[in-house]
Amino acid sequence: MSAYAEFYRRSIEERDAFWDEQARLIDWHTPPQQICDYNNPPFAKWFVGGTTNLCHNAVDRHVAARGDQPALIAISTETEAERSYSFAELHTEVQRMAAVLQHLGVKKGDRVLIYMPMIAEAAFAMLACARIGALHSVVFGGFASGSLASRIEDAEPVLVVSADAGSRGGKVVPYKPLLDEAIELSRHKPQAVLLVNRGLAAMHLHAGRDHDWAALREQHLAAQVPCEWVDSTHPSYTLYTSGTTGKPKGVQRDTGGYAVALAASMRHIFDAQAGQTFFATSDIGWVVGHSYIVYGPLIAGMATIMYEGLPIRPDAGIWWSIVEKYRVTHMFSAPTAVRVLKKQDPAYLAKYNVKSLKALWLAGEPLDEPTAQWISSALQVPIIDNYWQTETGWPILTLANGVEKQSARFGSPGKAMYGYQVKLIDEATGEELTGANQKGVVAIEGPLPPGCMQTVWRDDARFVNTYWKSVPGRLIYSTFDWGIRDADGYHFILGRTDDVINVAGHRLGTREIEESIASHPNVAEVAVVGVADSLKGQVAMAFAVAKDASGLTDDAARLKLEGEVMKLVNAQLGAVARPSRVFFVTVLPKTRSGKLLRRALQAVAEKRDPGDLTTMEDPAALQQVRDLVGG
317 in helix, strand or coil? coil
373 in any annotated domain: no
Q: What is the pLDDT of residue 593?
A: 47
Q: Is residue 49 part of a domain?
A: yes
Residue 330 domain-assigned (yes or no): no
pLDDT tens column, 373-404: 889 999 999 999 999 999 999 999 999 999 99
Instruction: Assess whether pLDDT exceeds 50 at residue 68.
Output: yes
- Same domain? For 191 and 254 the reply is yes
Give the mean model confidence (pLDDT) for residues 513-521: 87
Question: Is residue 333, in this structure, part of any structural domain at all?
Answer: no
Establish if 322 belongs to a structural domain: no
Distance CA 402, CA 551 (A): 63
* Per-chain mean pLDDT for the chain: 92
Q: Quick one: pLDDT band at residue 499, thresholds 50, 70, 90?
A: low
Closest CA to 541 of 630, 425, 426, 480: 630
> Residue 51, Cα to own-chain centre: how many angstroms?
27
Higher pLDDT, 494 or 519: 519
**pLDDT exceeds cutoff 70 at 616:** no
Looking at the fold, whether 407 and 491 belong to one and the same domain comes out as no
- Domain carrying residue 483: 441-496
CB-CB contact of 561 with 552 (8 Å): yes
Mean pLDDT of 365-373: 78
Tell me: the pLDDT tens digits for 519-551?
Answer: 899 988 888 998 988 888 889 999 998 888 888
Residue 298 domain-assigned? Answer: yes
DSSP string, 154-211: HH--SEEEEESEEEETTEEEE-HHHHHHHHHH-SS--SEEEEE--SSS--PPPTTTEE
* CATH number of the CATH domain containing 565: 3.30.300.30
282 plus 393 within the same structural domain: yes
pLDDT digits over 235-274, tens only?
999 999 865 455 779 999 999 999 999 999 999 999 999 9
436 and 465: one domain? no
Whether residues 512 and 492 fall in one domain: no
Domain identity same for 143 and 103: yes
Residue 552 has a pLDDT of 86
Q: What is the mean pLDDT of residues 6-12?
A: 98
pLDDT band at 582 (very low <50, low <70, confident <90, very high): very high
Model pLDDT, residue 76 = 98
pLDDT at 466: 93
Check whether residue 141 and residue 270 sit in a common domain: yes
Mean pLDDT value of segment 141-168: 93
Domain shared by 565 and 432, yes or no: no
What proportion of the chain, given as a percentage, has pLDDT over 90? 73
Give a yes or no: residue 189 inside a domain. yes
Q: Where are the beta strands (DSSP E) in 426-489?
A: 440-445, 455-456, 477-485
Give this prediction's pTM: 0.85
Residue 215 or residue 536, greater confidence: 215
pLDDT tens-digit readout, 411-431: 899 999 999 999 999 988 899
Domain contains 448: yes
623, amino acid identity: Q
